[in-house]
Amino acid sequence: MEVIDNMSFGWLLTIVGGTMTMCSLGVLILVVTILKKFQN
Amino acid sequence: MANVNAPMAGKLLSIDVKAGDKVKKNDPVATLEAMKMQIKVFAPADGTVAEIKAEAGANIDPSVVIMTLE
Amino acid sequence: MNEIMQVITSNDFLYNVFGGFTHFGWQAAVMLIIGGVLIYLGVAKDYEPLLLVPIGFGCILANLPLTELIHVPREGYVFNDSIRELLAASGLLPLAEGARVVNEGILDVLYNAGIANELFPCLLFIGIGAMTDFGPLLQNPRILLLGGAGQFGIFLTLILALAIGYEKLEAICIAIIGACDGPTSIFITSMFNPALLGPISVAAYSYMSLVPIIQPPVMKLCTSKKEREMIMSYEMLQPVTQRTKLLFPIVVTIVTLLIAPSGGALMGTLMFGNFLRECGAVGRLVQAAENEIASITTLFLGLTVGSTMNGDVFLTAKTLGIFALGFIAICGDTAFGVFGAKLMNLFSKVKINPLIGAAGISAFPMSARVVHKVGNEANPQSYLLMHAMGVNTGGQIGSVLTASVMIAVIGALQTMGVDLTIN
């Protein structure tokens, strides 16, 4: 079983988690903007 | 001469001044309820209340003039 | 007659008959006081009474000795379930060393029915979704980014918790207090480290109710008076139609669950609740979700979570650390939100008041009201409420999204065979 150091685990989660969260929000903004184009 | 518009959509709870009252800039002139929060509407300029145009209890939005000052 | 006297006066008999007193230790006493304080805060001070009252009462119930109401989530108990007993008797299922065979208490039943499998937080999410109007957010969708920025207190706390020596799965649960969202905290904690449910949910709910006190100083520290005075007009908001509001929850569900499938329970229930609200065809279900179901779930959730606050688990230095880190998490959220808004201003033509960034947390609608008040204090002509509401609902999406992404990343690590268990 692989072992990962506590701090590297923290940074890994921060970097990957933070990026993924912000990117998903970016995608959502894009999708909402497109949705709003079609509302009229 | 200045219009006091509703700052945001909501329900006008009360108007706290009468026509003819003198108000200073940033005096509270009306109370609005939005998102279950009571919000004071403040006068945008010094002046005297000329005419009250909205009624308490009405639903208002930023296009509605609550009162005019001069 | 003689025999009766003999039994009555024997020490063993007295010890067991008055077991409630003889088993009452100092830890139980402290926990009863803590339970009392939580009830007091709820009843007299009106801090999240809907949760703190059941939690406080659950805490009192669980810490009176010998009530046998709850045994989980602690280790070392085997339920007196007949099949297991038979298996154990025939040597097929060795009982864990030193484990006591007990009958399931009523709170064990509630715990296993709704906390161990994360059902109760998800039922609450349906209600939260049904109560939330994403209209202000949809009018200005780019403020969704602030709802993400406001979650970075979670990561700050995660790093801090690991740095001062908490184990990986403990640190995750502590950090999630920064989501500023009770159900999310309980969901993550029961998933990764149920032993910490008591301290974490109490910290999460008490800091949520303290948002109006914690946030303003941090907001003022992070902004200049000039920045706070900025007026945001409502003209930049384009109205949205009902059709957009109706499609929004469906689209969010599909997009976010493609990215983080393991967040399905949280995001799915939140958006389902919102869809019920916006589709306009199921008024009765909306009523039930936001009133009856939410109330019943809150009651059971609070009582059960409170009863996990057993003295020998709760009264440790860890709990103090959790409270300290939880506080940092919420201050961090506020600061990151404000700086996130300043960062957005650098790149965009339409400027926003950096204060609204502070509403990028899940504490709805307290946080938006706080933002409005601080802005209105700085400049009476400034009405930030609706903008802040938009950011605040964005914060709800942000916190659920962050939690889902964290579950996904941890799940990926576990599938790869990385050892995350607590030593």
Note the pLDDT of residue C240: 87
DSSP character for C105?
A: P
Q: For a pLDDT cut of 70, what percent of chain C falls above it?
A: 96
Average pLDDT over residues C267-287: 94
For residue A32, list chain C residues with Cβ-Cβ distance below 8 A.
Answer: 138, 141, 144, 244, 248, 251
The residue ranking higher by pLDDT, C238 or C207, is C207
CA C79 – CA C73 distance, rounded (Å):
12
Q: Reply yes or no on whether the pLDDT at C84 is more than 70.
A: no
C83: confidence class by pLDDT, cuts 50, 70, 90: low
For residue C360, list chain A residues with Cβ-Cβ distance below 8 A.
Answer: none
Q: Which domain, by its residues, includes B45?
A: 2-69
pLDDT tens digit sequence for C297-322: 999 999 999 999 888 888 999 999 99
Q: Reply yes or no on whether the pLDDT at C235 is more than 80.
A: no
The residue ranking higher by pLDDT, C275 or B64, is C275
Contacts of residue A2, defined as CB under 8 A and 6 or more positions apart, other chains included, come to C416, C417, C418, C419
Q: Reply yes or no on whether the pLDDT at C97 is more than 70.
A: no
Note the pLDDT of residue C81: 66
C31: confidence class by pLDDT, cuts 50, 70, 90: very high
Note the pLDDT of residue C375: 94
Note the pLDDT of residue C209: 87
CA C243 – CA C265 distance, rounded (Å):
25
Q: For a pLDDT cut of 90, what percent of chain C falls above it?
A: 68
Note the pLDDT of residue C239: 80
Q: Which one-letter amino acid corresponds to residue C230?
A: M
pLDDT tens digit sequence for C133-178: 999 999 999 999 999 999 999 999 999 999 999 999 999 999 999 9
CA C375 – CA C368 distance, rounded (Å):
11
CA C341 – CA C335 distance, rounded (Å):
10
- Is the bond preceding residue C94 a cis peptide, omega within 30 degrees? no
Note the pLDDT of residue C92: 65
User: Inter-chain contact C365–B36, Cβ cutoff 8 Å?
Assistant: yes
Q: Reply yes or no on whether the pLDDT at C415 is more than 60.
A: yes
The residue ranking higher by pLDDT, C214 or C421, is C214
User: Inter-chain contact A24–C260, Cβ cutoff 8 Å?
Assistant: yes
| Three-class DSSP category at B60 | strand
Nearest by CB: C162 against A6, A28, A31: A6
For residue A26, list chain C residues with Cβ-Cβ distance below 8 A.
Answer: 145
Note the pLDDT of residue C360: 94
Average pLDDT over residues C287-293: 94
Query: What residue of C is the nearest CA neighbor of A28?
Result: C252
Q: Reply yes or no on whether the pLDDT at C423 is more than 70.
A: no
Element (H, E) at B47: strand B47-52
C93: confidence class by pLDDT, cuts 50, 70, 90: low
CA C255 – CA C300 distance, rounded (Å):
32
User: Inter-chain contact B26–C380, Cβ cutoff 8 Å?
Assistant: yes
Query: What residue of C is the nearest CA neighbor of B45?
Result: C381
For residue B39, list chain C residues with Cβ-Cβ distance below 8 A.
Answer: 372, 376, 383, 385
Q: DSSP letters of C247-265? A: HHHHHHHHHHHHH-GGGHH
The residue ranking higher by pLDDT, B36 or C189, is C189
Token readout for C59 is 């805490």
Q: For a pLDDT cut of 70, what percent of chain B falls above it?
A: 100
Q: Are C253 and C369 in contact (CB under 8 A)?
A: no
Note the pLDDT of residue C2: 84
Q: Helices (DSSP H) in C26-81: which residue ranges? A: 26-43, 49-63
Note the pLDDT of residue C34: 94
Burial status of residue B2 (CB atoms within 10 A of its CB: 0-12, 13-18, 19 or more)? middle
CA C85 – CA C97 distance, rounded (Å):
15
CA atoms within 13 A on the CB side of B56: 9
Q: What is the CATH number of the domain that holds B31?
A: 2.40.50.100
Note the pLDDT of residue C8: 84
pLDDT tens digit sequence for B10-24: 899 999 998 899 999
DSSP character for C69?
A: -
Mean pLDDT computed over every residue of chain B: 88
Domain count, chain B: 1
- Is the bond preceding residue C365 a cis peptide, omega within 30 degrees? yes
Token readout for C143 is 């403020």
